Structure 1
Amino acid sequence: MTTLRGLWPEVQDTCTSLGLMLSIVLSVALARGVLQRHVHRPTAHAFVLEFLATFQLCFCTLELQLLGEQEPAHPTWSLTLTYFFSLVHGLTLVGTASNPCGVMMQMMLGGMSPETGAMRLLAQLMAALGSRYCIGALWSLGLTRYHVGERSFACRNPMHVDLPKAVVVEAICSFIFHSALLHFQEVGTKLRIHLLAALITFLVYAGGSLTGAIFNPALALSLHFKCFDEAFLQFFIVYWLAPSLGILLMILTFSLFLPWLYDNHTTNKKE
């Protein structure tokens, strides 16, 4: 009984934290419904959708990161939450990228105009910064024991390897994730969402202890804004340039290198 009483505050804090994340998900879903009915201009519609999606992703990840830090001895708990909320985002944020690299991929493949891409990138940037200040205000209310307003302004460097290795990790994560995103289009929606959630969880498990395995420039800015302020060049290279490099390599590989290799192989067989 004493043990249960000792555990109860932790359970209460965890439930409060999960409740906050689910409240944001429901609020964004409601806002998307209102938007669908009352906003008919395509440009404004796309901008607000991208803003809401990126806001939800960044807000939930900030809270999820905080929640995961409370149970460092049980990494499976953090991975379980990562998988669950990846599913939630996949189900609720259909039609948005929530990632500048995803927008870049669509522009490079000709699926989006530069003007639309720039507008979506602006929405993601605004949402990344807005979510950070919003959650900072919530943490200052002290809803749980580990909600402290000052925490949102501290730099917690996620890099535990040197710069070249960090660049390689983020570039590989971006390459793998967006390759899957591109090639899972023909898979059924329900299965695709589970596959992508499992892949995200695996990448977080594999690279989380090295760089945080973020592979999303907007999310990185929201999670580590203070670190960008203190060591901008290093964080710009690892969390902005490296994922973009992964996208570029992915497109070159599947659009140029592999077709060229296949054509050469076919030519040699004919000879």
Structure 2
Amino acid sequence: MATLNVSIAFLFLVGGTCQALRWLSKRLLSPGARGCLARELAGSLQLCTSCLELRMLMEIGPWGGGFGLDVVLTLLFLLFAVHGASFDGGSANPTVCVQEFLLLESSLAATAAKLLAQAVGTGLGWAVTKLFWSWELSQLHFIQNLISSECSSSIRTALPHAAFVEGTCSFLFHLVLLKARHSHPIWGVPALAATATFLTYTAGPFTGAFFNPALATATTFHCSGNSFWDYVQVYWLGPLTGMFTALLLYQGNIPRLFQKNLLYSQKSKYKVPKAKVTAHLEGDEPQQKRKGGKSKPEPRA
């Protein structure tokens, strides 16, 4: 339990620091692009450090710490819920930024700036977590510090299957995200957290279940076992394809590319029977004539 307490304390410290960064950005920066960039950087830093620490607990904890997978999954759900409630409009996920661009909710310059902030945030999160592991405050962190320099690839299946797994995870995540955008946060945040936890548990043994290109880049691209292009196919092209498919299925079109709805016909919500419309028009014609007759009386001889 001492190891678990150290990890929880580290996660609380990182979350508090990122929340303070968001508060400062609201106080000191304009509510425009700079504030958005600060939120993306803080969210990516928080997400990267949390996921790296939890991956360590999932891989070493069962045999080195004596606690089961249920503890890690509970922490994972709570962290995803905290992230969803505290990100303050940030996504910390490049596929979400691209989705906003395709939905005409963000310009090309703003999207590029967000992606850059996410890259800086995840890189900083990886460096902070490595520094924390180097302090070796617990037995698990001592083991993790020894093996972190020789990490292996998270792809544990055939390359096409791995890309399909990441794409499917992204597809399901974005479907829930698109639905949650129009619901109250009290329902949307737990739904997203439960979806992310389920996908991580289900697809984790195959690819690590990142469905986040920035997080995957900081976590596994430097590991041996696969080439850079293999990682690009699985962790970049797979999630982007899943996001694009989810958006097309949900919207029926891609607003940035074309306006025509390819999947769903646009029908009026209310239907008026044609017979009633015809009768109404025929009944109005004599009334109009009568009103016209009253307004223009014939002159007397």
Report the TM-score, using the length of structure 1 for normalisation.
Answer: 0.88
Unpaired segments ≥5 residues, structure 1: 1-10, 267-271
CA distance in 2, matches of 1:29, 1:232: 34
Deviation string 1:149-200 (CA, Å, 9 cap, x unpaired) is 4544332322221001111110011011011111112221111111111111
CA distance in 2, matches of 1:186, 1:262: 19
How many matched pairs?
Answer: 256
CA distance in 1, matches of 2:69, 2:21: 34
Task: Tell me which residue corresponds to 1:143.
Answer: 137
Task: Tell me which residue corresponds to 1:132.
Answer: 126
- Are 1:221 and 2:221 an aligned pair? no
Which of 18, 24, 43 is the equivalent residue of 2:8? 18
Deviation string 1:218-266 (CA, Å, 9 cap, x unpaired) is 1111221312796211111100110011111122223337954443999
Q: Any conservation in 2 of the 1:154–1:226 contact (CA below 8 Å)?
A: no
Which of 164, 169, 175 is the equivalent residue of 2:165? 169
Which of 226, 231, 236 is the equivalent residue of 1:235? 231
Deviation string 1:122-164 (CA, Å, 9 cap, x unpaired) is 0111111111111111111111112244544332322221001
CA distance in 1, matches of 2:182, 2:31: 29
Unpaired segments ≥5 residues, structure 2: 254-259, 269-301
Tell me, what secondary structure is at the counterpart of 2:157?
coil
- Of Structure 1 and Structure 2, the greater helix share is in 1
Q: Any conservation in 1 of the 2:153–2:226 contact (CA below 8 Å)?
A: no
Deviation string 1:45-80 (CA, Å, 9 cap, x unpaired) is 111111011000001111111122233372222211
Q: Any conservation in 1 of the 2:77–2:197 contact (CA below 8 Å)?
A: yes
Taking the TM superposition and a 5 Å limit, the aligned residue runs for 1:31-180 are 31-40=21-30, 42-72=32-62, 74-148=68-142, 149-180=145-176
CA distance in 2, matches of 1:27, 1:62: 17
Task: Tell me which residue corresponds to 1:5.
Answer: none
CA distance in 2, matches of 1:226, 1:210: 18
Report the TM-score, using the length of structure 2 for normalisation.
Answer: 0.79
CA distance in 2, matches of 1:18, 1:103: 29
Task: Tell me which residue corresponds to 2:17.
Answer: 27
- CA RMSD between the two structures: 2.2
CA distance in 2, matches of 1:157, 1:189: 36
Tell me, what secondary structure is at the counterpart of 1:27?
helix
Answer with 100-109 or 226-235: which moved more.
226-235
Q: Determine which structure has more spread, i.e. the larger CA radius of gyration.
A: 2
Change beyond 3 A, Cα 1:55–1:229: farther
Tell me, what secondary structure is at the counterpart of 2:265?
helix
Identical residues among aligned pairs (%): 30
